[in-house]
Amino acid sequence: MSCSPMPSDYHYVKLKSDCSRSSLQWYTQAQNKMRRPSLLLKVIFKYMLPVFGVCIILYIIKLNYTTEECDMKKVPYVDPDRIKRAQKYAQQVLQEKCRPNFAKKSMARLFETYKMDLLPFVKKAPRVNEAEYKYDPPFGFRQFSSKVQTLLEVLPEHDFPEHLKTKSCRRCVVIGSGGILHGLGLGHALNQFDVVIRLNSAPVEGYSEHVGNKTTIRMTYPEGAPLSDLEYYSNDLFVAVLFKSVDFNWLQAMVKNETLPFWVRLFFWKQVAEKIPLQPKHFRILNPVIIKETAFDILQYSEPQSRFWGRDKNIPTIGVIAIVLATHLCDEVSFAGFGYDLSQPDTPLHYFDNLCMAAMNFQTMHNVTTETQFLLKLVKAQVVKDLSGGIHCEF
Ligand SMILES: *[C@@H]1O[C@H](CO)[C@@H](O)[C@H](O)[C@H]1NC(C)=O
Ligand SMILES: *[C@@H]1O[C@H](CO)[C@@H](O)[C@H](O)[C@H]1NC(C)=O
Ligand SMILES: *[C@@H]1O[C@H](CO)[C@@H](O)[C@H](O)[C@H]1NC(C)=O
């Protein structure tokens, strides 16, 4: 088990203090010097990790006091013509005929290794599904099989809910956190999709004109789960992305409406939600094979070489994972709020906070270039629609 800093698509990017950096470098150097760490070193690592955690906490506290560089509380100016064209385009997408299985079939055509029958969520099964346990998290649950089994015992449902399954053709939209969403007034159009997938803590409250106020799926790792009860609607599915040992403890506590022990809380790199106001039947675990498929089969990243996640920039962002998930869940897929334009360092990174695009240059988990090329390929092949035009503008 490790308590190294977790990949966040927006908090980790700012973790560039000397504090976190030097610990990482120190670890790397130590690792290079000694192929097989001695017992002494192991003991040092074991006790260094909490110190490392404290570093991160101090840095996050510091983060809260940084200046407001790209403050999103002010709605940015967007050309009224562009707003009109975006809204018209979204309505046009909604009015096109829905083609059953279109997303899956198209993905299989584009990517030979795409598996059309992958389950979206982890399920109780009479036999262990080997693919789920082949890799360490986030690509699999190797060494976590007993924790997974325990969790599955407390989750009453593992499927897509019946009322969504019965619809003969589903249109889904994945809403990214991109600053490009702000000002386009797409909320009304986004609410008309059958399934609306939101990521991490991306809020609805205060932004619904631009991001809508319907949520069907909230997909997040523990640290990303919204802290405010207002962000949960009673019918949402909460889809957990699990990375580390304590993530399983956290999810179990949330499902059973129990209090997380204080010592467990120390292992998170950021404050985690204490209660999730949803019934147990609304929780799911993302099938880690979807992350594996996204990373190795679709983006063609190399398989993990080290214990430190993201050292190889081989962790897909949760946004890209959600788009691949959507192709498995839905017949037609659109997205909005995607696209990092690194050539515009002073533009807002997200629609809801004050980070600037430049922050993306400091993250160490994700290969933005590869992801952008992948999304561009999907949009150009007309497999998915880009409603805010941050990847490829069709309006
Ligand atoms: C979304 O907003 C509309 C209008 O503002 C409101 O009527 C509706 O109840 C809201 N839906 C949810 C799920 O909050
Ligand atoms: C969770 O427990 C609290 C009391 O600790 C209770 O007020 C709340 O209704 C419970 N929530 C659910 C979803 O059961
Ligand atoms: C991202 O992936 C591309 C290959 O698609 C590679 O050329 C590039 O070096 C990678 N970038 C980083 C920062 O690792």
**C-alpha to C-alpha distance for 294 and 369, rounded to whole angstroms:** 15
The residue-averaged pLDDT of 15-19 equals 30
> For 382, left (φ over 0), alpha (ψ -120 to 50), or beta?
left
Q: Which tens digit of pLDDT belongs to each residue from 42-59?
A: 544 555 555 455 444 444
Measured in angstroms, how far is the CA atom of residue 199 from the centroid of ligand 2?
24
Q: Which tens digit of pLDDT belongs to each residue from 191-240?
A: 999 999 999 999 999 999 999 999 999 999 999 999 999 999 988 999 99
Of all atoms in ligand 3, which is nearest to the CA of residue 313?
14
In this prediction, residue 113 carries a pLDDT of 93
Q: Which tens digit of pLDDT belongs to each residue from 267-298?
A: 998 899 999 999 999 999 999 999 999 999 99
pTM, entire model: 0.83
Beta-carbon contacts of 48 under 8 Å, excluding residues fewer than 6 positions away, are: 23
Query: From atom 2 of ligand 2, which residue's Cα is the shortest distance away?
Result: 257
Q: Which tens digit of pLDDT belongs to each residue from 85-113?
A: 999 999 999 999 999 999 999 999 999 99
Mutate to test the pocket of ligand 1, among 188, 196, 198, 213 (most ligand atoms within 8 A of CB): 213
The pair of structure tokens assigned to 55 is 């570093």
Query: From atom 10 of ligand 3, which residue's Cα is the shortest distance away?
Result: 367
**Helix axes 368-380 and 318-329, enclosed angle (nearest 10):** 30
In this prediction, residue 2 carries a pLDDT of 34
In this prediction, residue 342 carries a pLDDT of 85
Q: How far is CA 15 from the centre of its chain?
A: 18
Q: Which tens digit of pLDDT belongs to each residue from 312-370?
A: 678 899 999 999 999 999 999 999 999 988 888 888 899 998 888 888 888 878 899 99
In this prediction, residue 61 carries a pLDDT of 43
Q: Read out DSSP for 148-187? A: HHHHHHH-S--S--HHHHTSSS-EEEEE--BGGGTTS--H
Average pLDDT over all residues of the chain: 83
Q: Does pLDDT of 184 surpass 80? A: yes
Beta-carbon contacts of 372 under 8 Å, excluding residues fewer than 6 positions away, are: 339, 340, 391
With H, G, I as helix, E, B as strand and everything else as coil, classify residue 294: helix
Going from the C-alpha of 268 to that of each of 1, 53, 205, 247, 263, the distances in angstroms are 13, 8, 25, 9, 10
Query: Ligand 3 pocket, 300 CB below 6 A?
Result: no
Instruction: Give the residue with greater pLDDT, 317 vs 28.
Output: 317
Give the chain's length.
395
Q: Does pLDDT of 394 surpass 90? A: yes
Write the CATH number of the domain with boundaries 61-386.
Answer: 3.90.1480.20
The residue-averaged pLDDT of 74-89 equals 90
Query: From atom 12 of ligand 3, which residue's Cα is the shortest distance away?
Result: 367
Beta-carbon contacts of 300 under 8 Å, excluding residues fewer than 6 positions away, are: none
In this prediction, residue 308 carries a pLDDT of 56
Please tell me what DSSP assigns to residue 343.
Answer: T
Burial 275-295 (b: 16+ CB within 10 A, else e): ebbbeeebbbbbbbbbbbbbb
Measured in angstroms, how far is the CA atom of residue 247 from the centroid of ligand 2?
21
In this prediction, residue 9 carries a pLDDT of 47
In this prediction, residue 306 carries a pLDDT of 61
In this prediction, residue 8 carries a pLDDT of 42
In this prediction, residue 364 carries a pLDDT of 74
Q: Which tens digit of pLDDT belongs to each residue from 249-258?
A: 999 999 999 9
Burial 101-140 (b: 16+ CB within 10 A, else e): ebbbbbbeeebeebbeebbbbbbeeeeeeeebbebbbbbb
Q: Where are the domains of the chain?
A: 61-386
* Phi, psi dihedral angles at 271 (to 5 degrees): -55, 135
